[in-house]
Amino acid sequence: MADEPKTEPKTEPKTEPKTEPKTGDDDHLGEAGIKALRSERAAREKAERDRNAITAERDELKAKTQTADEKALDAAKKEGHDAATIEANRRIVKSEVRAAAGAKVSDPEDAAALLGDLDRFIVKGEVDTKAISSAIDDLVKAKPYLAPAGKARPLPGGAATATSGSGFNEELRRRIHRAGG
């Protein structure tokens, strides 16, 4: 009995669930693996829909049973959370502007000041770093005098770079000339 060949169970006709299409990454799974993956994705999507429905129902029931004081407290908490989030995002945007402007502008603080209202870089509660980079590029094109003065080059020892000034050999020549040699 142990030597009998195993037979595959009969499967239902294929119906494609509304999940992500097959990608090149799925090729190594084989047909059974792809079917299992699609089944898992469909189950996950259903679970997410169920969770969202339950959460909405819970929030609705909570709102119906709250007293006026509880509603006011929740509104105050939400307002405080929103204000803190806005303030934090503003700080993040300013930091992102300074970081993005670091190599493109001689003084990154100038870029933050010249870009004006930095709130425009907050989209749906997230910082749009691509828009920041693009705005800095546009700023440097419009005001080329903001760009760093010299091209960065390695200093002797290769530990740092200089944006202006002279090279190591030129400095040695000046010192030798001053010493009378």
Tens of pLDDT, residues 25-34: 566 778 888 9
| Nearest Cα residue to 97 out of 117, 124, 83 | 117
Least confident of 12-16, 89-93, 140-144, 157-161: 12-16
Query: What pTM does this model have?
Result: 0.47
Q: Is 115 helix (H, G, I), strand (E, B) or coil?
A: coil
Tens of pLDDT, residues 96-144: 988 888 888 888 888 888 888 888 998 888 888 899 999 999 988 888 8
Structure tokens at 180: 């009378």
